[in-house]
Amino acid sequence: MKIYTKTGDNGTTMLFGGSRVPKHHIRIESYGTVDELNSFIGLIRDQTGKEDTTYKTLESVQHLLFNIGSVLASDPSKDNLIVPDINEEDIEELEKAMDKMNEDLPALKNFILPGGHPTVSQCHISRCVCRRAERLVVSLKANEPVPDIVVKYLNRLSDFLFILGRKISKDVGAEEVVWNPRK
């Protein structure tokens, strides 16, 4: 099977279900940004040990982001499509992971600047891409059907990525730099 089809050479792409839309469609921007997020999370995962809980959690997140991409890539006018799901238990798993990581972190009383270590920075980049994906999906949802759980998962995932950055910062002994606004 060839990877190229040439069917997108005219600036359109096909949704799961058969309809074609322009490549600049908000639906395409939404799942394209989720795909970008997935790639950044893979980069973070590659820097953890395979036996590490973080590795396994991030791998699970990547699978769920493919599920979300499938939902977003589906033609909303076709109600008979079977796509992989995402559910409340997936969100609860993120929340449990955040609660566990937070147990060993100092209380956060100020905004902190992204950085301190390359992996920490990648967590912050991923968090920002996740927030962009969330904004795009919310925008899409204003005009077309999108399951509420997709927005909820992306919202929680950005929180998870923030806390993961803090945990990694602590684990590697990197300093968290508190934002000092000029007055």
Q: Is residue 56 part of a domain?
A: yes
Using an 8 Å Cβ cutoff, are 87 and 140 in contact?
no
* Prediction pTM value: 0.92
Q: Is residue 68 part of a domain?
A: yes
Q: Is residue 3 part of a domain?
A: no
CATH number for the domain spanning 153: value is 1.20.1200.10
d(CA 47, CA 13): 34
Q: Kindly report, residue by residue over 120-167, the tens digit of the pLDDT.
A: 999 999 999 999 999 999 999 999 999 999 999 999 999 999 999 999
Q: Kindly report, residue by residue over 107-124, the tens digit of the pLDDT.
A: 988 999 999 999 999 999
CA distances (Å), origin 178, targets 33, 99, 108, 110, 143 = 29, 22, 10, 6, 39
Q: Is residue 108 part of a domain?
A: no
Q: Is residue 2 part of a domain?
A: no
Q: How many domains does the chain have?
A: 1
Q: Is residue 143 part of a domain?
A: yes
- Other Cβ atoms within 10 Å of 45 Cβ, number: 18
Q: Which domain holds residue 159?
A: 13-73+85-103+113-172
Alpha helices in the chain (DSSP H): 26-45, 53-72, 88-102, 118-141, 148-172
